[in-house]
Amino acid sequence: MDTLETRIAIKRLHPLFVAEVTGIDLTVPVPREDFRVIWDAFNEHQILVFRDQHFDDESQIAFSRHFGTLETMIAHPGNDWNPGHISVMTNLGKDGNFLPPDHPAMLHRERNEAWHSDSSFKPVAALASLLASRIVPPVGGNTDFASARAAYEALPAERKAALEGLTALHRMTYRDMDNDKGYKEEDKQRHVVTHPVIRTNPVNGRKALYVGSHAQEIVGMPPAEGASLLDELTAFCTQPQFVYSHHWRDGDAVMWDNRCTLHRATTFDKTQYKRKLHRTTIAGKTPDSAFARMPGA
C-alpha cells in the first residue's frame, strides 16, 4: 500500500490499473488538498474504487462537480425520456417493483452490456463517470472495466504507427441507426461525431485506444472494413489481462476515466434480484490540453 502525505491511502487492485481509495468521506465537502490526491490518482490508475460512500443524489452531484461541469443525459426510454444529471441503472420501476424484461427501459439498458466509453458520441466526449450503489444484487451484476491504455502500450510499435492518425466515427445508436428506436430522430442525427483512434492524456502524456461500441467506422475506409478494425481493437482491449471486474458492495462508488477505459454492465437474474446504481458523468473539454491542469486550478 502506498500511503500518501494525507490520511488518504491508495491501494492497487489490479497489476495494470484500478486503485482503491480509503480514508475520505466523499459525501461531505472535499478539501482542495484531498481532491489533488484524488485527481492525481485518477490520472494514474484510471479507475478509482471508493468504499462506504453512502451518497444521495445531492452529495453525488456535489462531489462530481469537483471534476468539472456535469453532463445532462440524453433522453431515452431508460430515463423515461426525462433526462437530468443522474442516470439510474436499475431493473426496478418507480414503484420499486421489478420491470418486465420486455419493458422499453429494460431493453434500452441492455445497451450498457456492450463495451463502451460514456458519451464518445458527443463532440466533446466525457472525462469521467461516477457510479454509486444504492441497491446491489447478491449474485451477478458486476461492472467490467478494461484499460485501453494498457492495451495500447501492449501493441507492437509497427501496429501503433499504423493506427496513428486514424479517425473513428462515433454514433450514439447501434450501427443500423435508421432502425434504432431507442432515441429521438433529432438526437440520432445530432450525435454522430469523429474522434481520433488514439488519445493522449496531457497530464502524463500516456496514450490509449479510443474504441468501443459507439466507434463504428473509420474515416476514409469502407464502412465494413473500418467496423472490422474497430471491433478487432475493442476485442484486443478487452482481453482478460486488461480487465477488472467490480463486484458491487453496499456503499461502493467507482469513478473511471472515459478517455482511456472501456466498461460494460454484466447480467444477473433481473427477475429475482434488485439492482439500482446512480451515475453522474463529468463533461470533457476541448482541446484535450484543457486537462493539463487540475479542474478549478
Segment 57-70, tens digit of pLDDT: 999 999 999 999 99
Q: What amino acid is encoded at 67 in this protein?
A: F
Which residue blocks in the chain are alpha helix, DSSP H?
32-45, 57-64, 104-109, 148-154, 157-163, 185-190, 223-237
Query: Hey, what domains does the chain have and what are their CATH numbers?
Result: 2-287 (3.60.130.10)
For residue 294, name the pLDDT band (cuts at 50, 70, 90). Answer: low
124: part of which helix (H) or strand (E)?
Answer: none
Residues 6+ apart with CB under 8 A from 60: 86, 130, 132, 253, 278, 280
- Alpha-carbon Rg of the chain, whole angstroms? 19
Confidence of residue 293 (pLDDT cuts 50, 70, 90): low
Question: How does pLDDT run across 22-51, given as a tens digit for each residue?
Answer: 999 999 999 999 999 999 999 999 999 999
Max Cα–Cα distance, the chain, nearest Å? 55
The pTM (predicted TM-score) of the whole model is 0.92
The CA–CA distances, whole Å, from 128 to 197, 207, 296 equal: 18, 16, 15
Task: Report which of 92, 88, 178, 91 is spatially closest to residue 133, judged by C-alpha positions.
Answer: 88
Q: How many CB atoms lie within 10 A of CB 128?
A: 23
pLDDT tens sequence across 202-258: 889 999 999 999 999 999 999 999 999 999 999 999 999 999 999 999 999 999 999
% of the chain at pLDDT higher than 90: 81
Who wins on pLDDT, 6 or 130?
130
Using one digit for the tens of pLDDT, what is the confidence trace for 121-152? Answer: 999 999 999 999 999 999 999 999 999 999 99
